[in-house]
Amino acid sequence: MSRAAGSISRNEARRALLADLAAGRVVSDLAFDRLYPERIRKLSNRYWTPVQVACRAASLFAKHGARRVLDIGAGMGKFCVIAAITTDLELSGIEQRESLVTAGREVLAAYDIPRVTLIHGMLDDVDFDAYDGFYLFNPFEEGTFASSQWVDRTIPLSEERATEDIARVEAALARARRGTCVVTFHGFGGAIPKGFAHLPEETRGVPFLRLWVKD
Ligand SMILES: C[S@@+](CC[C@H](N)C(=O)[O-])C[C@H]1O[C@@H](n2cnc3c(N)ncnc32)[C@H](O)[C@@H]1O
C-alpha cells in the first residue's frame, strides 16, 4: 500500500471511531488515544480521562442543565472532544502546556470537532463567570509527584503552587451561580464549598466520579 493510501485509511478509521462514539457504541481508550501522538498516548493511563468516564461525566452536565463547561486542566482535550461528540454542550479547556494545546487543536481541526475551544493558559486566564459547569480530573496533584513522573518538565510544578491553585478553584466555586454543576474524577485536592448538593446516585457504578450542583 502506498503511503498516501495508508494515511487515507487511517483517517477514515479515526472518523469511523468518532462516529461510533457519537452513536453511543463502545470505543476503547487504546483506539481513541490513537488520535494523538505517541508521547501523549503513553500518558493516558495516568493523566487522561477514560472514554467511558468522559461519556458519563458529559451526560451528567447535560442532564443537570449545564451549557458551557470548562475542563480545568484539559490536557490535549480528551474530555472536551468526547463531551462535544456525545452531547450538545459548549466545551472549553484551559491547559498550561502549549504542546498539549497544539496537539489537541490539530485533532479538533483535522476531524471537525464542533463546540470545543482549547485555551493555552493558567487559572489566572479563566473567566469563571463564563461557565455553568466545571470538570476537574485531579489537575493539581501532579505538583505533588516527583518530577520524574510529571507529564513533562516545561512547567515548574510544586506543592505550593498546587495548594494555591486548589484555593483559587475553591474560591471560584464559592462565588459560582446557582445551578452550577461540578464533576470531579478523583477529586481536585480541595473541598467543594458549602451550597453545593452532592448527588451520589448520579455517579453510581463509576468509581471516583462525583457530581455536585449548586443550590
Ligand atoms: C490529570 S490531567 C487531566 C487532563 C484532562 N482534563 C482529562 O481529563 O483528560 C491534568 C492536566 O491539567 C493541567 N494543569 C494542571 N494545573 C493547571 C493549571 N493551573 N492551569 C492549566 N492547566 C493545568 C496539566 O498540565 C494536565 O495536562
Q: Are strands 133-136 and 116-120 parallel, antiparallel or unpaired?
A: unpaired
Once rounded to an integer, what is the mean pLDDT over residues 63-81?
A: 98
Q: Are strands 133-136 and 90-95 parallel, antiparallel or unpaired?
A: unpaired
Q: Where does the pLDDT of residue 2 fall: very low under 50, low under 70, confident under 90, or very high at 90 and above?
A: low
Let me know how long the chain is: 215
- pLDDT beyond 60 at 215: yes
pLDDT score recorded for residue 186: 98
Dist CA 81 CA 108 (whole Å): 8
CB 2 within 8 A of CB 32: no
Task: Work out which ligand 1 atom sits closest to the CA atom of 165.
Answer: 19
- Tell me the pLDDT tens digit for each residue of 79-102: 999 999 999 999 999 999 999 999
Dist CA 93 CA 95 (whole Å): 6
Q: Where does the pLDDT of residue 8 fall: very low under 50, low under 70, confident under 90, or very high at 90 and above?
A: low
Q: Which domains does the chain have, with CATH numbers?
A: 47-214 (3.40.50.150)
- Tell me the pLDDT tens digit for each residue of 34-60: 999 999 999 999 999 999 999 999 999
In the 8-state DSSP scheme, what is residue 163? H
Check pocket membership of 75 for ligand 1, CB cut-off 6 A.
Answer: yes
- Tell me the pLDDT tens digit for each residue of 11-25: 999 999 999 999 999
Nearest to 73 by CA among 146, 160, 138, 128: 138
- Tell me the pLDDT tens digit for each residue of 129-186: 999 999 999 999 999 999 999 999 999 999 999 999 999 999 999 999 999 999 999 9
Check pocket membership of 122 for ligand 1, CB cut-off 6 A.
Answer: yes
Distance (Å) from CA 157 to ligand 1 centroid = 12
Contacts of 185 (CB under 8 A, 6+ apart): 49, 53, 57, 135, 136, 137, 138, 208, 209, 210
Cell of 183: 464533576
Backbone angles phi, psi at 32, to 5 degrees: -60, -45
Mean pLDDT for the chain overall: 96
Check pocket membership of 214 for ligand 1, CB cut-off 6 A.
Answer: no
Cell of 138: 485531579
CB 187 within 8 A of CB 210: yes
Distance (Å) from CA 57 to ligand 1 centroid = 16
Contacts of 23 (CB under 8 A, 6+ apart): none
Check pocket membership of 188 for ligand 1, CB cut-off 6 A.
Answer: no
Check pocket membership of 36 for ligand 1, CB cut-off 6 A.
Answer: no
pLDDT score recorded for residue 4: 59
Nearest to 81 by CA among 43, 135, 117: 117
Percent of the chain predicted with pLDDT > 70: 96
Dist CA 160 CA 144 (whole Å): 9
Check pocket membership of 49 for ligand 1, CB cut-off 6 A.
Answer: yes
Q: Please state the pTM of the whole predicted model.
A: 0.96
